[in-house]
Amino acid sequence: MKKILFADDEESIRLLYQEEFEERGYEVVLAASGEEALQQYADARPDLLVIDIKMPGMDGIEVLRKVREDSKEVPVILCTAYGEYKQNFETWASDDYIVKSANIEGLFQKVEALLAKKGA
Ligand SMILES: [Mg+2]
């Protein structure tokens, strides 16, 4: 079973991710902050991370940097509701980028595609 770490400061979004991805057969690990995300990354060794950019304290961009110091391989999807970040992403190290949306299907497809590409 593939393990996905979701980091988002909004509880309703964390619970949505958990419900939807557990229903689809994934093991889900949740983090409510960037700091917690790094701790969970170290403890749980997820196969893929979905990280909200806009979080109080350590934001998703910093989480991505720290994760990349550990691994260049693990797929990371950054999420944001803020479209103005988008143009900065082209040179970044994340595997993908999505706009936060109530439609979980798009996220699910990106997760599947990245795990398939990884050969997992
Ligand atoms: Mg947020």
The dihedral through the CA atoms of 49, 53, 55, 57 has a sign that is positive
Say if residue 3's pLDDT is above 60.
yes
Distance (angstroms) between ligand 1 centre and the Cα of 8 equals: 6
pTM of this prediction? 0.88
Range of the domain at 38: 3-117
Task: Encode pLDDT of 18-33 as tens digits.
Answer: 999 999 999 999 999 9
Q: What is the CATH number of the domain that holds 12?
A: 3.40.50.2300
The answer to whether 99 touches 80, Cβ cutoff 8 Å, is yes
Distance (angstroms) between ligand 1 centre and the Cα of 64 equals: 15
Number of structural domains (the chain) is: 1
Distance (angstroms) between ligand 1 centre and the Cα of 12 equals: 11
Quickly state the pLDDT bin for 54 (edges 50, 70, 90): confident
Segment 76-84 shows an average pLDDT of 74
Q: Residues within 5 Å of ion ligand 1 by Cβ?
A: 9, 52, 54
Distance (angstroms) between ligand 1 centre and the Cα of 36 equals: 14
